[in-house]
Chain A
Amino acid sequence: MAPLDHGPAAGGADDTPREQRRNARIGMLLFIVYTACYTAFVLTAAFAPQRMATRPWADINLAIWSGFGLLVLALVLSLVYSWLCRARGVQ
């Protein structure tokens, strides 16, 4: 089926199949970590909203700490992923 004409947009240096499998494993692990935290946050907000009002630190409630925590965690995990994939690629 010629018109479909699939293929990469540009001929970059793609990862080897081994690297692809390893990256996928790392990605899945980090995905599970984040998903667990996100799920805990959402379920707490939905089924125990009063718990979000508790103030664990600095007179600021858990809702704000956990919300900011999820945003920062996303950034940290993405950096970890990038670093792990690159570091092994160099080896």
Chain B
Amino acid sequence: MIYSPSPLAVIVFGAFVAFTLGLSFYFARRTRSAAGYFAAGGQIHWFVNGVAFAGDYLSAASFLGICGMIASYGYDGFLYSIGYLAGWIVALFVIAEPLKRMGRYTFADALNSRFQSRAITLSAGISTLVVSVFYLIPQMVGAGALVTPLLGLPHWAGVSMVGAVVMLIVVTAGMVSTTYVQFLKGSLLVVFSAVLTLMILNRGLTTQPEAPGFRAPRVSKAISPVGLPYFKQLTAEELGLEGEEVLQNESPWSSPYLETRNLETGRVTVWRESPVMSRNADGVLAAEAGRVKFYETQTLTVLPDGKRLVNGLPQGHGEGETDFFPVGNIERLPGGETATGAIGPVDFFSTLEGSDILLWKQDPSKYPVSIDGELATTTVYYPQLTAGTDVLLPGKSPTFNGIRGDDLMPKLNFLSLMLALFGGTASLPHILIRYYTVKDQAAARKSTVVGIGSIGFFYLLTLFLGLGAMTGGVIDPTSANNNMAAPLLAKSFGPLLFAMISAIAFTTVLGTVSGLIVAAAGAVVHDLMTSVGRMQLTDHEKVRAGKLTAAAVGVLAIVLGILFEHMNVSFLVGWAFSIAASANLPSLVMLLFWKGTTRQGITAAILVGMTTSLAWVLLSGDTFTAVYGLPAENAPVPFNQPGIVTIPLGFAVLVVVSLLTRQTNSKAVV
């Protein structure tokens, strides 16, 4: 879809970014030391830090990715909400207080509190860099997805803009400004998501959403085809398609597609056959035997010169042009109602369970079509009637649909992801360094509780936001990832709310990216340069080196954000969690709970966990398809998510290497 910028949205957005930058410059004047730059001098109030945790954590993955995934597939996106919050339990109950006690600036500090080992510092510094970069990719992809409808800019421009603004923020003031940006954004995100949820419930569920540009797809009368090829005998009259004529021999389309031409305008429409679905006596949505009907589809044809035709006309908003219409609506509400009116949260779900929803799919085939003698390819987007009960259960999305089958591998893939989400939070460098911005362990504990409260409340809302978008007539049928579902849902309530939500979402990306870049810069300067490289830097030089590193990481993030444009941000974050949990969790946990841990054990666990999880991700079926353009079947690893193999492997390596080296260390001490 082509988006036109809304002046109000641009003004509100500009004001937000200007305020964020102003805040950053203000704190820049107060940041003089390395402690101030990398850890805010340890003087942030626990409540501010707690909300900033929410700001850090509720990244593009949560707001854009989870809501988008729920809008596309229903409950499966909510599994990420559950896993992400569960990770905070590990952080609060196991990691937070000891980590605060042991460290100063970085994750490596904590691991090194007992050993003072350069090998640990080196491996932990590299691991921080790798995880930060992997976590940066989805944030930048989210930024691009956000700016497209807001400012009408292409994806690469959005990514570059975020990169530039973030670099400006980070090189000016470091952790202090990052913390206050996160506090501001965390508060606004939770508050406005709550407002949006209340508006969804107040509007209720309807079969005819009033979103701008939305219309339900046209549908033919149900017919009972007799004999084959019955397509060649169909007439517009028989199908109840008034004003259309069915194109038979002159049409390139064949079963399950049918082409018609409007008698008045001459516009062609492609229709897709679908079984007639109705609820049986048990309330289960099932196909009626021998009865079909045709749904209107939307098509995208790409000509050899790159020009794009939507439903046969040039894509655009000018005369003689057209664009995709937004989709996603309830076709049938329980009891044949057309609207529920204002609805409570419990009724919201029970009504959806009894409803039938039109979800749009993309036909994976590319159909060759001859236009003016030139061969073009056409992609078809079509509606599919889906039971509400189906979207409110796990296993609807391609990521998780294997859990509904009998094969063990997809189930292991699911368990692997849920394990990575559980263990990943407490292993993320930009979350870990936030424990150093408060003054003591009690403050670390209290800020984590505030963080869990804010984050948990937001995640409760994600299901309402995602399902509201799914049924609100705001979905872009061509978007495979639906990263923009939540802001577009806000747009259906008016331009001001859209502008606010988009600006907050953009600040979300700014804040998270800032935090990640500070974490990466801290690892390079504090761990790699001064500790491992033994470079003698003054405080001022450390800050300057940190800023230069921040700029370099920012440029890298921009490039990767452009390359990974078409992937769902939540999915990408799943990778970052897997790598973080595999590389960092075994060392953190064993250092706290096993006295036999040695420095060689920690170093080996980090390096093995990081390299194996990274290798697994790069060799997975999803990467083969989405990044290399190769068939997923060629992937050498049996499932996509590495955590269930590489996290235990990290623990095993740590134990074995520690046992093997314990004696050596004892002798060395003696």
Contact = CB atoms under 8 A, between A and B. Distances in A.
Interface of A: 1, 3-15, 20, 23-24, 27-28, 30-31, 34-35, 38, 41-43, 45-47, 49, 52-53, 55, 58-61, 63-64, 67-68, 70-72, 74-75, 77-79, 81-82, 85-86, 89
A49 B453 CA distance: 29
Contact of A4 (B88, B89, B116): B116
B456 A7 contact: no
Interface stretch (B23-31, B34-42, B150-158, B485-493): B34-42
A55 B353 CA distance: 10
B545 to A, nearest CB: 14
Interface string B52-86: 00000000000000000000000100110110011
A30 B93 contact: yes
7 contacts: A8-B42, A8-B104, A10-B41, A20-B97, A45-B414, A46-B415, A63-B392
Interface string B329-368: 0000000000000000010011001100000000000000
A17 B327 CA distance: 59
B437 interface: yes
Main secondary structure of the interface of A (DSSP, over half): helix
Given A9-B105, A15-B97, A45-B79, A77 B89 contact: yes
A81 B112 contact: no
A7 B104 contact: yes
Given A41-B82, A64-B392, A74-B89, A12 B439 contact: yes
Given A12-B440, A49-B403, 4 more contacts: A9-B42, A27-B93, A27-B97, A42-B418
Contacts of A8: 42, 100-101, 104, 440
Contacts of A74: 85-86, 88-89, 452, 456
Given A47-B411, A79-B449, A61 B353 contact: yes
B393 A11 contact: no
Contacts of A35: 89, 422
Interface of B: 35, 39, 41-43, 75, 78-79, 81-82, 85-86, 88-90, 92-94, 97-98, 100-105, 109, 112-113, 116, 118, 121, 346, 349-350, 353-354, 389, 392-395, 403-404, 411, 414-415, 418, 422, 436-443, 445-446, 448-449, 452-453, 456-457, 459-460, 463, 530-531, 534, 536
A48 to B, nearest CB: 10
Contacts of A59: 350, 353-354
Given A46-B415, A60-B350, A71 B439 contact: no
Nearest to A31: B93
Contacts of A20: 97-98, 101, 441
Nearest to A12: B440
Given A3-B530, A31-B89, A85 B452 contact: no
Contacts of B93: 27-28, 30-31, 34, 77, 81
A46 B200 CA distance: 31
A67 B78 contact: yes
Contacts of B118: 1
A20 B90 CA distance: 17
Q: Which of B86, B113, B463 has the most CB of A within 10 A?
A: B86
Given A38-B86, A74-B89, A5 B104 contact: yes
Q: Which 5 A-B pairs have the closest CB atoms?
A: A12-B440, A10-B42, A9-B42, A12-B439, A27-B93
A53 to B, nearest CB: 6
Nearest to B354: A59
Nearest to B34: A5
Contact of B116 (A1, A23, A72, A82): A1
B423 to A, nearest CB: 11
A71 B92 contact: no
Given A9-B437, A20-B97, A31-B90, A46 B39 contact: no
Contacts of B39: 9
Nearest to B40: A9
B395 A49 contact: yes
A11 B449 contact: no
Contacts of B354: 59
Contacts of A60: 346, 349-350, 353
B89 A42 contact: no
B334 to A, nearest CB: 10
Nearest to B454: A75
Contacts of B346: 58, 60
Contacts of B98: 20, 24
Contacts of A81: 92-93, 445, 449
Given A13-B440, A78-B452, A64 B463 contact: yes
Contacts of A85: 442, 445
B441 A49 contact: no
